[in-house]
Structures are given as C-alpha cells and as structure tokens.
A and B are shown apart, each in its own frame.
Chain A
C-alpha cells in the first residue's frame, strides 16, 4: 500500500531496514515514511531501536538490509557527510559543537567560505550570514559569542541553524528537550512550527508523550526493533501510544519459587533494610524521594532514560551528594559521603557502566574480586594471597564464572561473566543492600537466568536488592515491587498485584497512576 500510483512519493521513505549487532537484532524489517513539512514522532521503549534507526538515516551507521528513498529515488547513505548532502541532518542528544569557538565559526565549521583562495583566510562575511540564520530561529545573541556561554537550549538552536544552513530538508531530533527548560522547550516548538511551514520535515524522538501529543502530525511506534503501529493526528493519546509501546506476551523466563518471596505477614513488621526519607538530588526536584527496601525483597526501579534512576542509585552509593534527606540501613542512619562510606555501611553498587566503573579490565579476575575486600585480606599491610585466591575461586564456583582460571584478565570475559565478577566482588563482603544498575545489559540469555537465580538466593538469605532496569520484562519478572521515576522524581509504586507493562509505562511517561 506504500506504492499507491497516484500519490506523490514521500520525501523520505525507508523500506525493510534491518540491523543487527553481535547478539541482538536491533532492527528487523522496519518501514518509515515522512512527507515534506511533516513532524513524525518515533516512540518506543528503551532499546526498541529508535536511535539505531535514526543513526542509519543520518549515516552514522549503515543498515544490514533495506532501502532508503528520497523523493522516490533510491539513495545510498554511507556516511554523515553523504546524508547531509542528501539533506538529512541529525541533531545530536549530546551536542556536537566546539564550545571554545564562537557561534558563526561553529555554523560554518569545516566549510568556511575562503578569502584569497589558497591563503585560507576565513571570509568575515560569515558573521552577517550567521546572524541572518540565527535571527530566523530567534537566537538573540551576537554571532561572535563563544558557544560555551550559551545555554543548552541556545546551543541546540545553533545546531539547528547549522543544519538549516546545510539546506537540510529532514531534521532528526533525538530527545531534543531532555535538557531544556520549559521556556526553551516552548521556543523549540515554535521553531518546529516555523520549519514545517517552510517545508522542512522533522523526525522527532521523545520519551515524553505529552510533548509528542503537542508536536506530532503522526506517530510511529517501534517495539523490539519492529514497527508496532502508527497513529494519525486524530488518534494520538497517551493511552493509545502506551498500548502500542507494550502489548506483548511476557515470556516464562523468570521462574519465581513461591516460597522464595518474603512471607507477606513478616515483611511489613520488620525493620526495612533500607529506608530513604526525604531525599533530594537536585534543587529543581519538587517532591522528595521516599521509599523502603525490605529484607528479602527485590525492588525494581523503572523509568525511561534520563528519569534519574542512575542518579538515585549513585546517591545511595555515596558517589553523588544528597542535597537533603536521610538514609537508614537496618534502622540506623548512615552518612554517605563516598563509596567507601556506603560499602562500610553495607550498601554496594554494580554500576551501569560495567567496564568503566565496575572493573579493572587489564587486571586479573582474582584482583578484581579481591579489590573491595582488601581491608579484610590485609595481613599487616600485605595482601593475604592465599586467602585472596581462595576467595576468588569460591566466588568463581558460586557464580559459575566461565574462565579456565582466575588469573585471566577480566577484560577477556564475556559481558555476562564480567557482570558476575562485579557481583562476586560485592558478595565477598556480604552486603545488606545490593544496588544493581542495568544488571543484564549486554548479558546473554544464559547468564541472565543465572543472575536472576542468584538474586533469589541472595534475597532468601535476607539481603535487600534495588534493581534499576530499562528492560520492562526484567523489571516485571524479577521484582517483588516496582518504583517508577519520571523526570527526577519518584512518581509511583506498584505492588506485585498491580504490576503490568501498561501500569509501569503509564507512570514512566508522566501519566496518572490508574489503579
């Protein structure tokens, strides 16, 4: 039906796009159509394939299969510069500007009009030209202002101005409002309306469904790397989008032995492992964060990218300062000024950036496992080698770390086994509260199941677990209770009976909690 003979070809038409990375199918046979002067919003859960699709259209990555047509003509997009010549520009989430150069220099970077040919002097006319571009977008500052002095919103406008000066016909905006103030967001929407009037098309990616309703002419939903459905202007509503984003069968992957969950009678009465009262992480946060993790409980912390889950985890681990609030562990107030405070109190974190924050990749598995326990392996200042090796071997057996021996560098292990090493490092200390941030990202299915089983064993021994995850299946399959964050605040709590993908997504996207 995409080739109705009478209709003019869409400005941009992607057909059957597929892309896989080692171990994952990021995109499978995805279609996308964009008309001139149209704003198409692309939504989906984290990992649904939105960013990969946009990167393919912008030439950052190439598709394994599929075809891209512009004005009905098949084109090959094999690089960012090629995409830009074809009129497609990606406005990056992390802005790509040189902060030390002024606005005009950034606008013309790499294609400065020259003066005197091979002398290579930059034509001073870039300043009036830049100014004209800037005025069109309502950017009210001098083109000689260094970008470092602009706000994030203004920088984004500079990027858009740059794209327009490249005669772009398609702008791809990936979460453009994630770091904008309310007023800057309004300003961006005005710019988007003006651009539409000039025939520029926009692919708009956002997690914020309220915004999507505001700007979209049409919404297309991706789920697990496939098209999940489309909504025309009249059909766009919070619940219609959420229904398309979720709506899939839960696989029977998480076997939860009934007796393993904390008996309901005792859970309420006992002192919680963790009690967080009145936490404030940012000054803009309206409501303080309040929650508990009880003995033997896995609490899932859900939310979309940038909702503040990692920040909360890091604050509980002492990496990030708390502006206000009190943390009690087993009923005792603890001070958390550094990770070593947290560790001494019994709070540990398996961080999201496993390779960057969790492991010494070039050093041995034994050393990685021993690192957090050196205070206990300390014999008059020397490392008790034999005990360290015994510890590493015990942990290797307990967590089934697949390695010929513990003297191999941790960097050689697969993602799942690396995560097991991180967990081994912490389990060696028998912590009270284990915080996991995206525990199974980049982990294969087999190791995932092992990690879930391990969590159950640990909670059966009375440990509390707080698990941040973007994988809804995982959140629903493993948690006894789910907390949901949205824009830096805790917006809801779902007990076991009310946990569903619909309910979590509803809260995570800023919707009301409907019991």
Chain B
C-alpha cells in the first residue's frame, strides 16, 4: 500500500512538473494525446502484469503484436474478411499463442524466458513471411471500425483507447483482486510449491496467465492498426514487450512474482508515458528519451529494493 502511495505521489510530481513546463504541455490536446498513449499501452501492461504476478515473463509480446496486426490487415484488405470475422480470428490467434507458450513452460518445463525469447523471433519472422516484408495498409477504408475502436470521443470526450483500457482495468481489478483465479495467480507467484501443496492446479493458472498476455497483445494489435492505419511487418511492435514489462515493474510488480496490482500498473504506464512527454517539453533531446525511461526504471528498482530490505529487517522474508 505504501509503495502504491509513493508511486502515486511520484506520478503527481511528474504531472505538476509537466504542467509547469510549457503552455503546450497544459493544452487539452497534449492531455488527450497522453491519455491515448496511456490507454493503448496500458492494455499490454495489464496482460504482462498478470503474468509477472504469477512469476512468469513474456518477451514475445512485441512480435505477437506485429504478427497479429499484419494478419488483421491482410484478412481485412487482402482477403476481404468482415471485421466481425477478422477480429475474433486474430484474438483467437493471440489466445492460441499464449496457450502454446503456457504449455511449453508448464508441461515441457522449458524456461519462460527462453520460450518467449524464441517466440520473439518466430512470430516476427512469421509476420514478415506472411506479408512478404511489404507494408499492409487499410487505406481510406474501414472508417466506421476506426471510429468505433480509435477515433471516437463519444465517451465523456475521452480518447477511445483510454476508455477501453479503463474498462479492462476494472475487469482486471475484479479478476486479480476479488476473484479466486487472481488469488491463485498471487499464490503461485508467491510460492508455487506452497500453492501446489494447497491443492491449486498450478499449471492451469500459469497457462491462463500466458493466454492473457498474448490475448491482450492481439487485442492491442487490432487497436494499434486502427491508429496507424498500416502495419510494417518488419518493425511494428518492436520493443513493445519492454514497454509492457516496464509499465508493470514501474507500477510495483516484482519479477520475483506474487506482487503487484492493477492500480499500480495504471500508474506505472502513466509514468512511462509522461516521462518522455515531460523531457520533450523541457527540451531534452528526443534521442535521450529511452535513457530517461531506463533511468526512471532503475531508480524505481533501487527504491523498491530498499523498501524490501527494510521489510526484511522487520522479519518478512
């Protein structure tokens, strides 16, 4: 709880600095844009966060985004599928990838890092091969779909991606913090053996966490395609797994597993996107953007470690 309060204060501080920096930064347009980023990438962080809480990791998120965006564009444009068929098909693809990752990790005992690192290469290659390395665009079509999933400001004038994210975040709050299944994920991440000895079907819930991660990556891919209007199989989604993981870790998820919550993920994602915005407004060269994000992450990790040590001295191991 204390950690969450600290994060919230940190975010508030950053936001104040942003407001002070520049008239542009205070503009509704900048806020709208920021909300749009946070909403969009927050979706990835929710999936990655659940997985990290269960003690897993997914490095293939970015490549799954690339593959799923490519497949969506090709189904809609090249194969003229209706969105009603294409989008469920792509979501099913994401779920299937998560299922395979989860099965490899649990039933065959391959390390999660290795399985998903291989996925990072495999799915990127698959996307490039399917599209023959050419850009796939939606052109001027699918206006209604783009409006519904991306451009609309119908809900309280908020960016659609933020609305979707907030709805998902509410669902995930219920799932992680109130449901039996979320409880199992925390138990597995906290002490997998103890969870198993308490009768939890640990494999099943670990697989579920991988499915959530890849499934949300597929959903993100659809939204991202609506935003970008086109997809580059060679680099769409590159590094996105790192955004997802960074958001979760900044938000208080421990890579040791068993720790983290939805509100933290939200705050973490917000910090992750306010930081570059702030540096831009303050005139820091944009080339340093990654360096700033990395520095913030490192700072957070150091603080977290200090808090943990203090907790240990009090007797929590």
Contacts and interface: CB of A to CB of B under 8 A. Distances in A.
B74 to A, nearest CB: 37
A266 interface: no
B310 to A, nearest CB: 14
B149 interface: no
Interface residues of B, number: 26
Interface in A322-356: 338-340, 342-344, 349, 351, 355-356
Contacts of A236: none
B183 A383 contact: yes
A412 B314 contact: yes
Contacts of B200: 340, 371
Contact of B187 (A339, A340, A342, A360): A360
Contacts of B84: none
Interface in B170-221: 174, 178-181, 183-184, 186-187, 190-191, 193-201
A377 interface: yes
Given A360-B190, A363-B190, A378 B180 contact: yes
A245 B316 CA distance: 38
A359 B194 contact: yes
A363 B180 contact: no
Contacts of A367: 183, 186-187
A288 interface: no
A362 B195 contact: no
Contact of A382 (B174, B187, B195, B314): B174
B179 A362 contact: no
Contacts of B187: 360, 363, 367, 371
A340 B186 contact: no
Contact of A371 (B174, B183, B315, B316): B183
A383 B185 CA distance: 13
A454 interface: no
Contact of B194 (A342, A357, A374): A357
A170 to B, nearest CB: 36
A253 B240 CA distance: 63
B205 to A, nearest CB: 11
Contacts of A383: 178-180, 183
Interface string A409-420: 101100000000
Interface in B216-266: 258-259
B194 A360 contact: yes
Contacts of B80: none
Interface in A303-326: 317, 319
A414 to B, nearest CB: 10
A383 to B, nearest CB: 6
A342 B201 CA distance: 12
B2 interface: no
A425 B179 contact: no
A372 B200 CA distance: 8
Interface in A365-411: 367, 370-372, 374-375, 377-378, 381-383, 385, 409, 411
24 contacts: A317-B197, A339-B198, A340-B200, A343-B199, A351-B197, A356-B191, A357-B197, A359-B191, A360-B186, A360-B187, A360-B191, A360-B258, A362-B258, A362-B316, A363-B190, A371-B198, A371-B200, A372-B198, A372-B199, A378-B180, A381-B180, A383-B179, A411-B316, A412-B315
